[in-house]
Amino acid sequence: MKIGELAQRANCHTETIRYYEKIGLLPEAQRNENNYRHYRPYHLERLRFIRNCRSLDMTHEEIRHFLGFMDQPEMGCQPVTTLITEHLAHVDARLQELSQLRQQLAELQAACVHEDTVQACRILEKISTMEPLPDANTHLG
């Protein structure tokens, strides 16, 4: 199949496919005589796997590890479980950060006294003087 068909079947853009090829997550396709890329069902399966991992908020490096595990089907599954456990910890940390962010936003919203001018806006005043949240400590940085 050509890149357009692969993109349609995987529900993504052709640029995404080219990018995944460029960074080595998706093997490059063979080229036909007319120099068009020719993708096989294997590419579609792998692309769907990559996209599913991205929908789980996994980094490219995590996906690379999972693909490496898939390419060694005879190995034990403990490294797969370990990677998922680590990712779950990252998600838990992100949820905590989002909870703190939500609290700050709620406090800002509560500061609104509906003044007529931006100059009198207490939200903008509070944003200028508040302490920022600590930098994220997740795998996404």
Question: pLDDT digit string (tens) for 77-135?
Answer: 999 999 999 999 999 999 999 999 999 999 888 888 777 788 778 888 888 888 876 76
**pTM for this structure?**
0.77
User: Which of 130, 129, 126, 133 has the alpha carbon at shortest distance from 97?
Assistant: 133
Q: 63 exposed, middle or buried (CB, 10 Å; 0-12, 13-18, 19+)?
A: buried
* Token code pair at residue 133: 């949240």
Question: pLDDT digit string (tens) for 126-138?
Answer: 888 888 767 655 5
The topology (CATH level 3) of 3-70 is Multidrug-efflux Transporter Regulator; Chain: A; Domain 2 (1.10.1660)
